[in-house]
């Protein structure tokens, strides 16, 4: 593989890694709130989180392209704060990926929290355990497996991202040129040798990850 | 119900026999003009023209893998030649237009070569490796001795259409786009029409594909585009017409726009 292809691998892994960390940080409280919610507002919130599952990536790509523009408020605020633009930047891709992969992290966590033994939580509470203590000593041990599953799904889905990045990335090597884009480029320039290497690599990665996920899932249900 | 269906099939096949559908793959930059030309062609002949647009590289790939197009309007001459070499072309490639490149900085009243050389923010262009207009943009920067300096500022669109999107939405402050794109929106200022000698002519060629079942109709469509009246439309849309561009330039008042 060429230097540029390895650079694309590195950008992809960094993007997926950072996105997953952020998704866990955002997804955990979100899923917890949703799982415990009884108001009629819940389906609306669930639908909002689930939107990226059904929307074509071009919808998100288009809205982000408009939102990221310094001519519009979100892009302007970002530019005032950081002095840079969001489009064509790594930060922009991270933001897009967090939105794009959100349901893949929130939904498994929400299911896990819904099935949580609430009796244990109440017992812990009556024994004087605070919310943070309860989370680490009661919730986490019970939901460790779904958490790992959610993280892997979020990571894998971000690696598999293409349409959104194509629309807002600008194809900058080392910054926004992820593997799926480098592969697209290789095909367009008729460099099928590189395309084959990258495509096979992505395929193998996805396969190994999914096998790992499914075996994890099986063990969880045993 | 059955009678209705039978009647429907008769009517349907009868019209299908008279009117064919011509499937045209058109490079993104020419899409708007192709729509105008195709509509007129449809009105005159009663046939239907469907347009599929994309980057020249992507369309070329699809065609070499058997995409069912009848005509290919490429943005370069390289792809049609490559198709001809592999026997995928009926007849010879013909030039239908010459593309013209501009440096566009929306909102600015006066854009000069100085603006370009002093530009140090994001600079949009099409991918030089896949898109003919991207290649031309790189040649302009190389010939002005600016490529090494500006390389790090470049953001690439997959086609000239995407380069335009980047600038039009304000995500890139300036960029290299096709004059035809600005003409579509009637943009009057804020751009610099680049001198022709700064880049190799963007010779846009068209071919009828040998895999087509509508080769005759495809040839008719190409002849139609090359006729004088249609070539005037092409020129107004921001291209040099397919005749010798040096001759065409004299008649084109825009030539004096460049400082």
Domains delineated in chain B: 2-98+203-257 (3.40.190.10), 101-193 (3.40.190.10)
Q: Do A87 and B172 touch (CB under 8 A)?
A: yes
A190 touches chain B (CB under 8 A): yes
Task: Find the CB nearest A85 among B122, B127, B162.
Answer: B122
Judge residue A3's burial from the number of C-beta atoms within 10 Å of its C-beta, 0-12 exposed, 13-18 middle, 19 or more buried.
exposed
Q: What are phi and psi of A172, to 5 degrees?
A: -95, 115
pLDDT in tens, A76-89: 999 999 988 899 89
Asked whether the beta carbons of residue B158 and residue A171 sit closer than 8 angstroms, the reply is yes
Overall residue count recorded for chain A in this entry: 222
Residue A21 φ/ψ, nearest 5 degrees: -60, -50
What CATH number does residue A113 fall under?
Answer: 1.10.3720.10
B221 vs B45: CA distance, rounded Å: 10
- For residue A82, what are the domain limits? 3-221
Helix (H, G, I), strand (E, B) or coil at B87: coil
Confidence of residue A42 (pLDDT cuts 50, 70, 90): very high
Cα–Cα distance between B73 and B204 in angstroms, integer?
A: 7
Determine, for residues A88 and B158 on separate chains, whether the beta-carbon distance falls below 8 Å: no
Kindly compute the dihedral angle of the four CA atoms of residues B202, B182, B143, B248, in this order, to the nearest 10 degrees. Answer: 50
Q: How far is CA A176 from the centre of its chain?
A: 16
Question: In whole angstroms, what is the distance from residue A12 CA to residue A24 CA?
Answer: 18
Average pLDDT, chain B: 88
Average pLDDT of the segment spanning B29-51: 94
Asked if the model's pLDDT at residue A9 lies above 90, the reply is yes
Whether the model clears a pTM of 0.90, i.e. scores above it, the answer is no
Q: A196-219 pLDDT, tens per residue?
A: 999 999 999 999 999 998 887 777
pLDDT for res B257: 40
Going by their DSSP bridges, the two strands B123-126 and B89-99 should be labelled as unpaired
Q: What are phi and psi of A71, to 5 degrees?
A: -75, -15
Torsion, CA B81, CA B86, CA B90, CA B95, rounded to 10: -10
**What pLDDT score was predicted for residue B7?**
60
Distance from the B206 Cα atom to the nearest Cα atom in chain A, whole angstroms:
19
Best residue in B150, B171, B173, B175 to probe A by mutation, most A CBs within 10 Å?
B171
ipTM score for this prediction: 0.72
Residue B256: the pLDDT is 36
CB–CB contacts below 8 A, A to B: 64
With b for 16 or more beta-carbon neighbours within 10 A and e for fewer, the B100-138 pattern comes to: bbbbbbbeeeebebeebeebeebbbbbbbbbbbbbbbbb
The count of structural domains within chain A is 1
Which range, of A20-24, A91-95, A217-221, averages the lowest pLDDT? A217-221
**B232-253 per-position pLDDT tens digit:** 999 999 999 987 554 455 444 4
| The pLDDT of residue B93 | 95
Q: Is B22 exposed, middle or buried (0-12, 13-18, 19+ CB in 10 A)?
A: buried
Number of H helices and E strands in chain B, helices first, is 12, 11
What is the band of A75 on the pLDDT scale with cuts at 50, 70, 90?
very high
Asked if B58's CB is within 8 angstroms of A188's CB, the reply is yes
Cross-sheet strand order for the sheet of B71-73: B48-54, B21-27, B71-73, B202-209, B89-99, B240-241
pLDDT digits (tens, 9 = 90+) for B65-80: 888 899 999 999 999 9
What's the average model confidence in pLDDT over A140-169?
92
> Residue B91: pLDDT above 80?
yes
Cα gap A30→A50, rounded to integer Å: 13
Q: Does A187 touch chain B (CB under 8 A)?
A: yes
Residue with more model confidence, A23 or B258? A23
Residues in chain B: 259
């Amino acid at each position: 593989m060429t230097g540029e292809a390895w650079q694309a691998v590195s950008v992809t892994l960094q993007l997926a890694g950072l996105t997953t960390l952020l998704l866990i940080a955002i997804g955990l409280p979100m899923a917890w709130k949703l799982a415990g919610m009884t108001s009629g507002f819940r389906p609306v919130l669930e639908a909002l989180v689930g939107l990226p599952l059904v929307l074509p990536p071009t919808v998100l790509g288009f809205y982000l392209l408009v939102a990221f523009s310094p001519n519009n408020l979100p892009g302007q605020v970002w530019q005032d704060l950081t002095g840079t633009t969001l489009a064509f930047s790594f930060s922009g891709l991270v933001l897009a990926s967090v939105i794009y992969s959100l349901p893949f992290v929130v939904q498994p966590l929400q299911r896990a929290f819904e099935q949580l033994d609430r009796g244990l939580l109440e017992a812990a509470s009556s024994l004087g355990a605070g919310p943070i203590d309860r989370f680490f000593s009661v919730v986490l041990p019970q939901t460790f497996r779904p958490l790992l599953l959610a993280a892997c799904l979020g990571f894998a889905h971000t690696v598999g991202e293409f349409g959104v990045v194509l629309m807002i990335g600008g194809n900058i090597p080392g910054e926004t040129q992820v593997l799926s884009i480098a592969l697209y480029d290789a095909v367009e320039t008729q460099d099928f040798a590189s395309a084959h290497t990258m495509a096979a690599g992505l395929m193998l990665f996805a396969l190994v990850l999914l096998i790992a996920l499914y075996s994890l899932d099986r063990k969880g249900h045993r | 119900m059955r009678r209705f269906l039978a009647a429907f099939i008769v009517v349907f096949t009868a019209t299908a026999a008279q009117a064919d559908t011509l499937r045209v793959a058109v490079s993104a930059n020419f899409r708007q003009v192709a729509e105008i030309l195709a509509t007129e062609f449809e009105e005159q002949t009663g046939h239907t023209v469907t347009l599929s647009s994309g980057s020249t590289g992507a369309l070329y790939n699809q065609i070499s893998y058997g995409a069912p197009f009848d005509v290919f309007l490429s943005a370069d001459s390289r792809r049609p030649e490559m198709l001809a070499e592999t026997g995928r072309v009926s007849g010879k490639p013909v030039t239908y237009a010459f593309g013209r490149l501009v440096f566009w900085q929306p909102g600015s009243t006066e854009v000069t070569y100085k603006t370009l050389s002093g530009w140090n923010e994001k600079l949009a262009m099409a991918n030089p490796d896949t898109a003919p207009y991207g290649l031309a943009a790189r040649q302009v920067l190389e010939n002005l001795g600016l490529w090494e300096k500006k390389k790090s500022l470049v953001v690439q669109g997959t086609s000239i259409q995407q380069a335009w999107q980047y600038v039009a939405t304000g995500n890139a402050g300036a960029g290299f786009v096709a004059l035809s794109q600005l003409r579509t929106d009637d943009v009057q200022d804020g751009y610099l029409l680049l001198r022709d000698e700064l880049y190799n002519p963007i010779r846009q060629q068209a071919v009828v594909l040998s895999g087509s079942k509508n080769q005759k109709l495809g040839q008719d469509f190409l002849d139609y585009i090359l006729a004088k009246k249609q070539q005037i439309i092409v020129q107004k849309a921001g291209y040099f017409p397919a005749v010798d561009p040096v001759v065409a330039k004299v008649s084109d008042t825009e030539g004096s726009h460049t400082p």
